[in-house]
Structure 1
Amino acid sequence: MCPADRARRAFTLIELLVVIAIIGVLVSLLLPAVQAARASARRIQCVNNLKQLGLGLANYESAHRAFPPAYLGDPKASGAAFGVSYPDPNGNTLSGFAWGALILPQLEQAPVHAAFNFNLPCWAPDNTTAARTKLSVFLCPSATGGDDGFAVHRYTNGDSQAPDDGGPFSPEIRFGHSHYVTNAGVNQPWGRSPAYSSDFDVPEPLPNGLSAVINGPFYRNSRTSIAAVADGLSNTVFLGERTSKLCDGTWVGVVPFASVWPKPGWPSDPNSAGDLVGSHSGPDVHDHPQVIIHAPNHPFGHTDEMYSEDGDGSNILMGDGSVRFIKKTIYPWTWVSLCTRNGGEVISADQ
């Protein structure tokens, strides 16, 4: 073949540029579809996580005749262990183990469960390896604030109702992340006065004539049975998303004097220890006459609300094991009704 023939069979620069331009156009057309498919896969994985957690809660209830508490604490205990004193002003003590650690056998995580020494506080050095374990069932793929564990912070101002962020504990306490939190109901147990923090089953009378009642299914030392969810399991919120982009949460446990601090850019203030594993709907009666109801993804960005990185709302696990996507535009009082276990509210289909 002569050189002229070979020259005629080669690509010209213009042809090459045209091909590159066509490929670029095709990629630009396909990229949104690929991104949408990935986002859909992340949402499906998040829903599957919540369904698996719901099954774990149901199996725990079958074995123990009650759902696990949000976390454990001996209200009569007093002292110090491994650098942490107790009780704190909110009545938190040892062992501190939370709902996620308690249902590990029901999540097919028996080896991790066996690695914990439940006779010691959850923050004990002997529990370090298990407490730092990264478990995918507690992690939403859409959360971008971290999933490799975090250093638990503490408060130093002695005020559990308005704690400061005193920085990490020393020696450091690290827990595995959870992007899902329990529902304590309307009022925040971690916002109670010290006089009424030893037993969350006791109503707290307030000067405004109201009473602070913890009426959700999960709080410290709760033993909520199916019969106790008088509003019906399908009408009661059990778990919901809370991204680590807002604040850090865990499945492991609660440390006395812990402080849950908002990540940079959020306007909210820290909350105390129980917020590591819980949320509430509001309006907390301590806030009256100021009414604050934070439905999922409410722009308040409180560390004790449910919040996902889907801007429209969050995936929520109901007591019957179903998962619903609750929009942030839900009628606020409907959200309040869904968060009580025994409020007797009537929720119509159009709310």
Structure 2
Amino acid sequence: MALSAKAQPRFGFTLIELLVVIAIIAVLIGLLVPAVQKVREAANRMSCTNNLKQLAIAMHSYHDANQKFPANQQQIGTNVWESLSATFWILPYIEQDAVFKSVTVPTNAPAQGVSTAGAGNRTAWSNAYNGAMNVAIKTMVCPSAIPGPRRGANNRGWDGPGSNYGWCYGSRVFANWDGSSNGFISQTKQNRMADVSDGTSNTIMAGEFLSGSNARATAGPGKYPFDIFFAGDALYNSVANKDFATAAELDAIGAAARNRPQGILSANGTLPLWYSATQSAFNTAAPPNWSWPSAGGNCCPGGSHDWGPGIIPPRSLHSGGVNVVLGDGSVKFIRDSINLVTFQRLGNRSDGQPPGDF
């Protein structure tokens, strides 16, 4: 007689139980990922804040040593484009002394046309200058920003290491490099502390901007909010009070820029040591993270350029606003919704009016 085997108990999940477990895990991941992203962004904002504080401390250290702040365009070579931004002059104070010393600054700098070297030395000097342009400086990069694509070496070998911080030129709408900036840092004038008559706690020294997408390298259209679109000097010249452009005037300029998507070069925010407006400076003519594209003007013969002046507001990928550092070294998060005139006054070092709440 055959013996009947006793049924053995079975252990494990049923299909329904497995699906339930998977669903629970998916819910937990859905809750966890945003929390992790928030923590990461909070850490990035803190790092961004520290970068701006370091820049402010360095700028004040430079002023202590020289009784003036550096201008953002100081020509040190025989060619006008052989100029350096204010960032170059504070390199020793942000642990970049080797880069600073790699470029020989002639004794009569910052006068125009200063290179007195012979042909052989001139080549060596140019190589050092061009090499400095390619040095990546960690302090100049916001960890929340998307790194701009390497632009590809131009005829001077500049590839563009990336830059997300610029000096505040003030509230003035620029037209064709007129040089009349009213900000904490000027284009060609070396301001002193006394020139900041509105007070250092009421004046923006530096802030954030984004690197360009390098779309122009492939003849593609410009990409908002990363690139600088071309508007043209005629619109800038039509602004009645260039220190305080109205919202309507800004809308007209922004619309004109948006409608010319091919009129750009999108290598902005890549060269922290170069003097051009969109590489190392911005203005407060328009509010942070302006809803219109940043708008460049004429620069050089041959068309529009992303380094042309115009309306270049601060921008960031932080939610809701941008970090700026004031002249007293305090870092503030400026909301995109800030009153336009308040923001313009924050950029102006000497308009004589309190900026209001911000």
TM-score, reference length from structure 1: 0.68
In the alignment, residue 186 of structure 1 is paired with which amino acid? Answer: S
Question: Which position in structure 2 is the counterpart of 1:60?
Answer: 62
Contact kept, 8 Å, 1:315 with 1:323, in 2: the verdict is: yes
Stretches of structure 1 that go unaligned for 5 or more consecutive residues are 80-85, 87-92, 152-167, 201-212, 249-260, 283-293
Paired AA for residue 180 in structure 1: Y
2:314 pairs with 1:306: yes
> Are 1:295 and 2:254 counterparts?
no
Q: Which deviations, in whole Å up to 9, do the C-alpha atoms of 1:263-291 show, x marking residues without a partner?
A: 43468315994332211223xxxxxxxxx
CA distance in structure 2 between the partners assigned to 1:52 and 1:106 by the alignment? 9
Alpha-carbon distance change, 330 to 39 in structure 1, aligned in 2, over 3 angstroms: same
Match of residue 324 from structure 1: 332
Q: CA deviation at 1:18?
A: 3.1
For the residues of structure 1 that align with 2:58 and 2:22, how far apart are their CA atoms?
52
The code of the aligned residue for 1:96 comes to: S
Structure number with greater Rg is 2
Q: 1:176 to 1:190 in 2, by over 3 A?
A: farther
Deviation at 1:117, TM superposition (A): 3.4
Aligned to 1:279: 282
Match of 1:155 in 2: none
Partner residue of 2:90 out of 82, 99, 103:
103
Say if 1:183 and 1:123 are closer, same or farther in 2 by CA, change over 3 A: farther
Amino acid at match of 1:241: E
1:162 maps to what in 2? none
Normalising by structure 2, report the TM-score: 0.67
Deviation at 1:62, TM superposition (A): 1.1
**2:88 is matched by which residue type in structure 1?**
A
What is the deviation of 1:344?
A: 0.8
Q: Is 1:230 matched with 2:189?
A: no
Alpha-carbon distance in structure 2 between the residues aligned to 1:341 and 1:96: 24
> 2:43 & 2:344 partners in 1: Cα distance?
30
Deviations 1:81-121 (A, max 9, x none): xxxxx4xxxxxx15411122211110122222233334569
Shift of 1:61: 1.1
Partner of 1:160: none
> Which letter maps to 2:66?
H
1:282-335 deviations in whole A, cap 9, x for unaligned?
3xxxxxxxxxxx111111221522111235221111100111111122111111
SS at match of 2:170: coil
What residue is the counterpart of 2:259 in the other structure? none
> 2:181, 2:187 within 8 Å by CA — same for their partners in 1?
no
Residues 208-264 of structure 1 deviation map (CA, whole Å, 9 limit, x = unaligned): xxxxx421122233211111111100101111110115789xxxxxxxxxxxx9943
Task: Kindly indicate whether residue 114 of structure 2 is the aligned counterpart of residue 112 of structure 1.
Answer: no
The number of aligned residues is 275
Three-state SS of the structure 1 residue aligned to 2:21 is helix
Residues 246 and 323 (structure 1), Cα distance of their counterparts in 2 relative to 1, 3 Å cut:
farther
- Structure 1 pair 232–242 and aligned structure 2 pair: CA distance change class (3 A): same
* Runs of 4 or more above 6 Å deviation: 120-123
| Structure with the larger strand share | 1
Q: How many Å separate the matches in 2 of 1:8 and 1:171? A: 74
Counterpart CA distance in 2 for 1:13 and 1:111 is 65
Q: Which runs of 5+ in 2 are unaligned?
A: 107-114, 116-121, 231-263, 266-274, 296-311
1:157-182 per-residue CA deviation (whole Å, 9 max, x = no partner) reads xxxxxxxxxxx843442332210111
For residue 150 of structure 1, report the CA deviation from its aligned partner.
3.4
The alignment's C-alpha RMSD in Å is 3.2
